[in-house]
A and B are shown apart, each in its own frame.
Chain A
Amino acid sequence: MFNIRFHGRGGQGIKTAGRLLGTAFFLEGYEVQDAPRYGAERRGAPMSAYVRADRKPINARGIITHPDLVVVDDSLIPVPAAGVLAGIRPDTVLLIASHEDDAVWRSRLNLKSPILTIKPSEGADPASVSAACAGASARLTGVIRKENLIEALEDELGKLGPALLKANLDTVLQGFESMSAHQGLVRQSEAIALIDYQKPEWINLPLEASELASATIQGAQTSVQVRTGLWRTQRPVVHYEDCHRCWWVCSSFCPDSAISVNEEGFPVIDYEHCKGCMICVAQCPSHAIVAIPESEAQRLERQGEQR
């Protein structure tokens, strides 16, 4: 059985990539499961999707704990909440969408697993990167023919119109061709035997009277413990020399209460929680808030720390 896990950000086509791969497997005659992990996933938040495919009936259910192939957007690798490397084996293939090449990731991660990268073209939108990853994963399995991949794509995206279909087709096929040297690299694994099954880390609540067992939140404003700043792919930065201190604009419009006002009347952005919607950038009357890529911002921060 193939166990494939996609990691991406909400709204960036990861669910569709999984679906596309699942449909292509199906057209090859496989039994397939494909599902995104449903919950409170939101645009920009780490999310995952799963594809299982086998020639035999699949009895496994739920999330994939031991993947044969992990497909991931590189910005999520350092995010613990994303759980990108959870359950990988030495032969689990990692396919990373990254501007950096495989050698960099091999030395950085220091894993036995084979690591491949797929380089997004300059300024490519994240959904097209996901499409390329779907094509690349299809090739890596070694069992999906090009014509079935194309048919799957027509099935999934045909309703969106010919222009979009054509653009995606080119991207998916580029991804497919880019992995020609690694066709069949992904190894199938047997379903985990019951005896080897490990329970997820959950807490079993005993069945008690509702006033004891109900999930009552006793604290106020505990949501601040959730670091939604991880969702951000762009970072708004205030250039204070241009700021006219009209804090009522940015701080009222920020949906997330992530812009506070300091004693001098300057807005201060809370990067632990800013989701990167960029409303403040769009609305700032004096254009004092600018957007920079989050990866760039983090690189600059690291440089600052080293100095």
Chain B
Amino acid sequence: MTDTRFARMKDLPSTHWLGAGTPMCAGCGGLQALHQIYDILGNKTVFVNAAGCMTLLSIYPFTPFRGSWLYTAMGSAPAGAQGIRDALDILLEQKHIPPEEDLTTVVLSGDGSAYGMGVSATSGAIDRGLDFLYICYDNEGYGNTGQQFSAGAKTSTSKGPRGYPGYKKDLFALWAANKPAYVATVIGAEPLDLARKIEKATQLKGSRLIIALSPCPTGWDFDPKESTEIGRLAVKTGVWPLKEYQDGRVSHTKIPKERLPVEDYLKVQGRFAHLFEPVRNEAMLAEIQQRIDDYWADVV
């Protein structure tokens, strides 16, 4: 990474633009990523929020944002963003607003919308070359209503003795297949990597999409204070690869030197307790580890 104003941790923003007092849970990994992103984006933004946990950010009469915010149904946030972008373009063209008053259109959605209901609208927006930024806070389930599994769910996430039997959908690849300007994965536990990617995204035009893995104390069942450590473990175990797509190429921005066993990540979360209790499910643990090893075998 060259030409970044974020060379070291010290260069991270020391002023925080997102207002405190939001109704997100204590220790919310999604809010952690959002505030870090917002600190870099600044207030010249319009947020289009698909229904989800973060809809609660702006409950009348309260909002943590300094700019406008629009609420849409789960599947249609990119369509909302298209409308706002078009309106801004018309205002600019007709000189009703000067170029310096232009705003960045930002879609904010959870994984329920990004991985499932909103895929079609997102794909359409990328096809049309919509100039917008999409931020998905991915807590691997419908967090606001009790962590039922979404298409973003990791192995065995949803509650119950056996969990969810499927595997997490590769949204990064799905988005990248649409050939947008930029796709990246980030996490609040790696703020420097996140800052560089958001900085890069702000310098590009066209569709730019960011997926932030969002450790969720309530849904994943862990003590809120562990939120950042669990995020870091997701990276160190190779569960959450930090990468970006640009100009047809995928590059990994942080390759763990010696990957920790995936068990280190799984055993600290209540949602995976069924893999360890009443007896260790060796076969399932080995399978999960194998899938991660297979992924990284193709990378390095």
Q: Chain A residues in contact with chain B, CB under 8 A?
A: 10-11, 40, 42-45, 159, 161, 215, 217, 219-228, 231-232, 246-249, 251-258, 260-261, 270, 272-273, 275-279, 281-283
Contact = CB atoms under 8 A, between A and B. Distances in A.
25 contacts: A40-B56, A43-B27, A44-B26, A45-B23, A220-B66, A220-B67, A221-B64, A221-B65, A223-B62, A224-B19, A224-B20, A225-B21, A252-B9, A255-B35, A255-B188, A256-B20, A256-B21, A261-B14, A272-B21, A277-B27, A277-B227, A278-B27, A278-B225, A279-B224, A279-B228
Interface of B: 9-10, 12, 14-29, 31-32, 35-36, 43, 56-67, 69, 161, 188-189, 191, 217-218, 223-229, 277-278
Contacts of A253: 32, 188-189, 191, 228
Contact of B63 (A220, A249, A278): A220
Interface SS, B side: loop
Given A228-B20, A251-B14, A255-B31, 7 more contacts: A40-B56, A217-B62, A220-B43, A220-B63, A224-B21, A228-B21, A277-B26
B79 to A, nearest CB: 19
A279 B56 contact: no
B65 A220 contact: yes
Contact of A42 (B21, B23, B67): B23
A42 B64 contact: no
A223 B67 contact: no
B19 A222 contact: yes
B31 A256 contact: yes
Contact of B218 (A43, A252, A260, A272): A43
A217 B17 CA distance: 18
Contacts of B58: 217
A159 B159 CA distance: 11
A56 B29 CA distance: 47
A159 B63 CA distance: 39
Contacts of B26: 42-44, 231-232, 255, 275-277
Contacts of A45: 23
Nearest to A38: B145
B229 A257 contact: no
Given A257-B35, A277-B225, A279-B27, A223 B218 contact: no
A208 to B, nearest CB: 16
A43 B227 CA distance: 14
Nearest to B8: A248
B10 A43 contact: no
A220 B62 CA distance: 8
A254 B228 CA distance: 9
Given A40-B59, A217-B63, A255-B28, A281 B225 contact: yes
B59 A279 contact: no
A247 B39 CA distance: 15
A154 B36 CA distance: 45
Contacts of A255: 24, 26-29, 31-32, 35, 188, 227
B278 A161 contact: yes
Contacts of B229: 282-283
A238 B10 CA distance: 20
B260 to A, nearest CB: 18
B28 A40 contact: no
B66 A248 contact: no
A273 B20 CA distance: 6
Contact of A251 (B16, B25, B188): B16
Contact of A256 (B22, B43, B62, B277): B22
Nearest to A274: B20
Contacts of A224: 19-21, 64
Contacts of A251: 14, 16
Contacts of B59: 40
A222 B61 contact: yes
Nearest to A236: B225
A194 B65 CA distance: 43
Contacts of B65: 220-221
B277 A221 contact: no
